[in-house]
Structures are given as structure tokens and as C-alpha cells.
Amino acid sequence: MAEPSSATLSGARVGIGVSPGTAFGPVVQVAPPVRPPAGEPAAADPEAALVRIKAAFEGVAQDLTARAATADDTAQQILTATALIARDKGLIKAATKHLSAGKGPAAAVDAAVEDYAAQFTALGGYFAERVTDLRDVGSRALARLLGVPAPGIPPFSVPSVVVAEDLAPAETATLDRSLVVAIVTQAGGRTSHTAILAAQMGIPAVVQLPGATRIAPGTPIAVDGDTGEVTLNPTAQYVEDLVVRRRRRTAALVGSHGPGVTRDGHPVALLANIGGVEDAVQAAALDVEGVGLFRTEFVFLSSERAPTVAEQAEIYRQVLTPFGRRRVVVRTLDAGADKPLAFANLGPEENPALGRRGLRLSAERPDLLDSQLEALAIAARDTGADVRVMAPMVATAEEAAWFSRRVKENGLPKSGVMIEVPGAALRAEHVLAEVDFASLGTNDLAQYTMAADRMQGELSDLLDPWQPAVLDVIALACRGAAVTGTPIGVCGEAGGDPLLALVLVGLGVSSLSMAPSKVGIVRFALSLHSLPECQRLASLARDARTARDALDVVRAEARTGLTEIL
Amino acid sequence: MARRTVTIASSVGLHARPASLFVQAAAETGLDIEIAKKGEEPVDATSILAVMALGAEHGQEVELTAEGDGADAALDSLVELLSRDLDAE
């Protein structure tokens, strides 16, 4: 991708919109980690250099301690422990050793940090995770030593647009929603964690914006999280238009509520994707018909041992209760080599995305699946909730049958499968005969159909759910579902794109699950179009030659009441 | 020189919160205190990185040593600390 020249720094540029909404505000740049300068000369006066190094580490420790004082419990413990690292005598000793060996002060600090990082990496597991904290301390000390901004998000008090190379999930999750009006990143992809979390939090976001990190802090920018358009130093007119569009959109959405239904009365359930108890409480308060995807990984990932049935049942009760009689579709544990579990590690794999993940891990460790199903059955009984359980990464009819039998044996009424493997979509008629419902995981389905790693932002074009090949695979799965009479929904990010939602409904999908912030616009889109119109749009999209053409033709043919507010 | 042997009671071993609490307590004594696993080189008990790198697990024995005034009392209090499941508190 060509880097824009500085001449375009005042104009507009386009990334990928991943979380809807528009915003306007000054830029806050997230500073990258600090590295020692290349070819730094040896310290002329090692004694003086050591004094500066000690002062740098002490400054970092004081910073962290001050931040700990105002943080909540969990953050406080982490910050206090990190301050201890900054005050560590061993670190100073190692730096001293490197100084006398002829390194410059910055290089000595870096080498001291890397000495310990190597030790911790070798120890593995919990220690390897602490390497991030250690390097963060080193990077902060380097920043003080070199007189450059500290890495991470600088403190700010005016509502702003946060701009970064990329944001770690933890950084995104701890953003203050009242101060962050939008997020823009140079890297990241449409299904990166930043994108998913931003949509979950209702913050407009654009990823893959060329030259994002070179925008000067404080520059006023306008962000359109739907089109991916970012405008630097926008004219008053542009901001005005943006505000008008936002107002029109808000006005359009105000009159739209209740269950999802097409203009001619065909119901399409509108559901929320959630990943934990907090999400559940928030989503349940909104106008959604239930949950189409409850990711249960969090129950397992933070734990060093397998959670007990009782512990799990308690968490599931907390998730189910807020939804009352509304449906909650639970996806069983989707772990694997890329999301390893401390207690069910099957070892490293060359290709984790193609390895023993999802249901394949459950086949190796049926005890984990059984304890999860047992806990879900207990929680369902205690709360009277409408619980439906589905398995991730199902490829064959045998797998679907195996899973369904276990679900029923545990006393749960409804079993389903995710359709994210193209093989399962091609053979949907046989796979779906074994279960009560199916849900298309469009992110993984696109990844596997186009053979493009969804974690690679550079491959975003291939991962575009508008790719006609992906639409064809979805159409095949829907045809199989029609033969067996099995309801089929979508729970990938594609379901939250109002234009694509029309196409999916036209292909035969009967429910759409998405980040809750996207439900309103999708409901509105459906209310303007009849089922035959959706079918026509679907057929136009599948006839297109490229992803771009598919989007363009649907945008051109959809009703203007929708397209004028997108 | 004062010397004590103690079994790590903390269920997660001597890292995370337990390590952090132990190192802070050792530093507060103001003495030179070392900690070692059986048959290994002792390390500075006031260095969080060194203590964590020790990798002392739940149920393992460690030896504490200290020099100077009040060494015995200081070690007694550290032994008491390591004998509790700090992570559960």
C-alpha cells in the first residue's frame, strides 16, 4: 500500500471502518515502545551514566506508584508489582555490568532488561507473560533516559481520537469511554481484537489507515467508522455534514425498535454477541432478542486449572439471568494452540488455525466439554433460560452427531453447530441433519474459504465478507439448511453490516447476531426491504465479479432511505 | 548468620502477588537477606526479578539467610509469611 505524502496530511484518507458511528476530535497519539538509539557510543563517564539510569528507573517506579494510588483493586496490584520491578536492584546491577563492558546507557538498560526477559521466557508459562511488564518498565526507563514521550496512551482530559500503530486488547479494554470518541489504527484487521472490542464498547473505529501514526498530536480529525473515511483538519462544512448524517441516523433509528422483521413481515431475530458477564448485563438492557453468540473462553482462559462444574454454573447463571426468557446461544469452549489453556495444552502446532482447536480439542478432552455441558444444564434449570448450545469448528456429520449426542445426554434441549469450515458448508444437508440449528461464523468461514489468515491485517481484502466466493459458500450452507428445515443464523461481524445483512437474509438466514451497537441500524435496514428485495440483492451480489462490485451493486440497489444515512 | 528453612504454602508458588508481598517485606527489614532453593545459588530476597526467576513452586522448600542485628526476628516474620497461602488472602 502506498504511503500518502505529507501533502495529503491535510486531506481525507480511507481505512477500514470496523465499528460504526462518526466522531470529531483532536488526535492523541499512542507512543510506540522506546528502543535504544542505533550505534550509541560507550558511556564516557560510567559513574555518571549509572546515576542517570538509577534516576530513570526511580522515576518510573514513582510514576507507577502514583498511578496505583488512584487505580481500582486489580490495577493497583499490577501497578504496585510493576513498580517493584522498576526498583529492582538486580536490574541496576545488570545495567552496571553492561555499562562497564562498554555499552552506552540506553543500550545497557535494554541489555539488562533483555537478560531477565530471556530467563523468564525460558521459564515459560506465567513467567513468559511477565516479560511484557518487564519490557514495559524498560521502555519507560529508556524514554526518561532519552527524554522522549513514555510509551502507551498519554494522559488527556479532552474528548479525543486515540491513534496508534495497533492497540493491545488490554489497552483497548481499559480506554475511558467518556474521553475516547473514536479509535484509529495503522495496523489491525476487520476481525482484530481492537475492532471487536471497539464495536462491543460502541466506539467508532477505523483500522488499516495508512500513515496514521504520523498525524501530529492535537490535529483535529473526523472519523467515519462505517465508511472507514478519516479526514484531517476537516472544513466546518464537512463536520457539519457529519453531524447532520449522525442526526439523521439517530432520528431514523429512534423510530425503529422491537423484533427484527422485513418490510413484508418476515421475521429475522436480532441478537447480541457477548463474551462475559458484564457484556451480558449491558446487552440484556438493550432492544435485542437474545444472544446469538456467547463466547465462553473467558471462563477458562484466565484460570491455571480447569474450572469446576460449580464455578462454571455460577458464571453461566450470571450470564443467563439478565436475559429472562430470551434465547442465549452458547458456544462451547473454542480454544487451541493460538488460545492455549494452561490445563489442556496439546503442545505447539505449526498451523494453529488448522489444528486441534474448537470441537477438535473437545474430542481430545471430552471431560472439559462434559463439565461445561453439565454446568450449562444446571444454570439453565436454575434460571429457566432458553439455552441453546453449539460447537465451534465442526467439519463433518460425524462430529456434529457426536456433539449433539453429548448435549442431549447432559439434558440440554437444543444442539447446534457453527458453520465456519467450508467443508461443513458444502455438506450442510448432512451435517445439519444431526442438529437443531446452525450459525455461520463468517470471520472464520472467510479465512478458510480464501486461505487468508484473519490475524493478518494486510490480507483484509481477501477476508472481506463481500467476496463473492464467501457469499457462494454461505448460499450453499443455506440451501442445505433449507433441505433439512434447520434454522441457520449468522454470528460473525458480517451480520452487523446493514447492507450485507440484507444479502444474508436474502440467502436464507433467519437470525443475525452482532455487536449490540450495530443492532439498531440493521433493524432499520431490514424494515425498509421486503424478503423478495433481499433475495434480489443477494442474487446481484453473487453475480458480481469482485467484492467491491458486490458492495457497489447492493449499495446502488438498496433503498435510499438506508443508503443516505450510511 | 541466621538461617531458616520453610515450605512455600502459596498455591501458585512464589510468584505474582505472593512474591510481591514477600519482596516488600524483605526490603522493609533493611537487612541483607538471601533466599535459595535446596542445592541452588542463593539470590537477593529484595529483588522481585530474582525471586520470581527462582521459580519456587507450592510445596518446595526454600532457605532464608540474613546477617546483622535483628536477623533472627526478621527471618521469623518472613517464614511466617511464606507459611501462609498468600494468594488465597
* Tens digit of each residue's pLDDT (9 = 90 or more) over A188-232: 776 666 787 788 788 999 998 988 999 999 999 999 988 788 999
Chain A contact set for B17 (CB, 8 A): 77, 81
Q: Which ipTM score applies to this complex?
A: 0.85
Q: Is A163 within the bounds of a domain?
A: no
- What chain A residue is nearest to B25 in terms of C-alpha separation? A84
| pLDDT confidence tier of residue B87, bands split at 50, 70 and 90 | low
Q: Are residues A90 and A75 in the same domain?
A: yes
Point out the catalytic residue in the list A98, A478, A491, A529.
Answer: A491
Residue B58 is among the residues annotated as catalytic for this protein: no
Whole-number Å distance between alpha carbons of A566 and B11: 54
Q: Are residues A123 and A242 in the same domain?
A: no
Query: What are B3's three cell numbers?
Result: 538461617
- Provide the shortest C-alpha distance from residue B77 to chain A (in Å): 20
Helices (H), A10-104: 46-70, 73-86, 89-100
Q: Which residues of chain A have pLDDT under 50?
A: 1-10
Q: Is A93 within the bounds of a domain?
A: yes
Helices (H), A285-326: 297-301, 309-320
pLDDT of residue A472: 98
Report pLDDT digits (tens) over A391-433.
Answer: 999 999 999 999 999 999 999 999 999 999 999 999 999 999 9
Check whether B89 has a pLDDT greater than 60.
no
Secondary structure (DSSP) of A334-347: --BTTB--TTS---
Report CA-CA distances (Å) from A260 to A256, A313, A525: 9, 31, 10
- Provide the shortest C-alpha distance from residue A374 to chain B (in Å): 27
Residue of A77, A90, A304 lying closest to B49 (CB–CB): A90
Q: Tally the domains of chain B.
A: 1
**In the listed set A102, A125, A146, which residue is the last one of a domain according to the structure?**
A146
Report CA-CA distances (Å) from B53 to A92, A121, A124, A128: 16, 10, 11, 11
Q: Are residues A298 and A203 in the same domain?
A: no
Question: At a CB cut-off of 8 Å and minimum separation 6, what does A382 contact?
Answer: A313, A317
Residue of A77, A116, A126 lying closest to B49 (CB–CB): A116
Residue A302: is it exposed, middle or buried by C-beta count within 10 angstroms (0-12/13-18/19+)?
Answer: exposed
Whole-number Å distance between alpha carbons of A222 and A395: 44
Q: Which residues pair with B36 in a beta bridge?
A: B63
Q: Are residues A24 and A113 in the same domain?
A: no
Query: What are A285's three cell numbers?
Result: 438492557
| Cell 460502541 found at | A202
Q: Are residues A220 and A303 in the same domain?
A: no
Answer whether A447's CB lies under 8 Å from A453's CB. Answer: yes
**CATH value at residue A348:** 3.20.20.60
Q: Are residues A105 and A208 in the same domain?
A: no
Q: Is A165 within the bounds of a domain?
A: no
Would the CB atoms of A90 and B52 count as touching at under 8 Å?
A: no
Strands ordered across the beta sheet of B33-37 = B2-7, B61-66, B33-37, B43-44
Query: What are A171's three cell numbers?
Result: 489497552
Whole-number Å distance between alpha carbons of A212 and A233: 14
Residue B78 CA, distance from chain mean position: 6
Q: Are residues A231 and A140 in the same domain?
A: no
Cβ burial A172-195 (10 Å sphere, 16+ → b, else e): beebeeeebbbbbbbbbbbbbbbb
A-B C-beta contacts closer than 8 Å:
44
Mean pLDDT over each residue of chain A, to the nearest integer: 89
pLDDT of residue A344: 79
Q: Which conformational region is residue A544 in: left (phi greater than 0), alpha (psi within -120 to 50 degrees), or beta?
A: beta
Q: Tally the domains of chain A.
A: 3
State the DSSP H helix or E strand holding residue A504, giving kind and residue range, or none if neither.
helix A498-507
Answer whether A175's CB lies under 8 Å from A444's CB. Answer: no
The percentage of residues in chain A with a pLDDT greater than 90, rounded to a whole number, is 61
Residues in B whose CB is inside 8 Å of some CB of A read 12, 15-17, 20, 23-24, 44, 46-50, 52-53, 55
Positive or negative: CA dihedral A445, A335, A491, A415: positive
Strands ordered across the beta sheet of A16-19 = A12-14, A229-232, A220-224, A22-29, A160-164, A180-185, A205-207, A16-19
Phi (first) and psi of residue A410, to 5 degrees: -85, 10
Whole-number Å distance between alpha carbons of A314 and A367: 19
Q: Are residues A244 and A262 in the same domain?
A: no
Query: What are A352's three cell numbers?
Result: 494453529
Chain B contact set for A81 (CB, 8 A): 16-17, 20, 48
Chain A contact set for B28 (CB, 8 A): none
| CA-based max dimension of chain A | 82
Would the CB atoms of A84 and B53 count as touching at under 8 Å?
A: no
Chain A contact set for B52 (CB, 8 A): 120, 127, 130
Question: What is the identity of the amino acid at A70?
Answer: T
pLDDT of residue A198: 85
Would the CB atoms of B44 and A81 count as touching at under 8 Å?
A: no
Q: Are residues A399 and A380 in the same domain?
A: yes
| Cα angle A474-A477-A481, degrees, rounded to a multiple of 5 | 135
- Substitution target from A60, A74, A85, A88 for chain B, most B beta carbons within 10 A: A88
Query: What are A392's three cell numbers?
Result: 465451534
Whole-number Å distance between alpha carbons of A408 and A399: 14
Whole-number Å distance between alpha carbons of A545 and A549: 6
Whole-number Å distance between alpha carbons of A480 and A434: 12
- Provide the shortest C-alpha distance from residue B54 to chain A (in Å): 10
Mean pLDDT over each residue of chain B, to the nearest integer: 88
Q: Are residues A305 and A436 in the same domain?
A: yes
Q: Are residues A401 and A481 in the same domain?
A: yes
Whole-number Å distance between alpha carbons of A313 and A290: 19
Q: Which candidate, A422, A448, A450, A419, places its Cα nearest to that of A435?
A: A419
Residue of A77, A89, A119 lying closest to B17 (CB–CB): A77
**CATH value at residue B6:** 3.30.1340.10
| Cell 443455506 found at | A478
Q: Is A166 within the bounds of a domain?
A: no
Report pLDDT digits (tens) over B12-38.
Answer: 788 777 888 899 999 999 899 999 998
| Cell 426491504 found at | A529
Residue A363 CA, distance from chain mean position: 27
Q: Is A167 within the bounds of a domain?
A: no
Range of the domain at B38: 2-88
Q: Are residues A422 and A320 in the same domain?
A: yes
Residue of A84, A89, A116 lying closest to B44 (CB–CB): A89
**In the listed set A250, A265, A297, which residue is the last one of a domain according to the structure?**
A250
Query: What are A149's three cell numbers?
Result: 514521550
Answer whether A192's CB lies under 8 Å from A169's CB. Answer: no
Would you tell me how many other CB atoms lie within 10 Å of the CB of residue B30? 12
Range of the domain at A218: 6-28+181-250
Q: What are the respective helix, strand and coil percentages of chain A, to the nearest 5?
A: 55, 15, 30
Compare A501 and B49 and report the one with higher pLDDT. A501
- Provide the shortest C-alpha distance from residue A296 to chain B (in Å): 24
Whole-number Å distance between alpha carbons of A542 and A476: 12
Chain A contact set for B50 (CB, 8 A): 88, 90
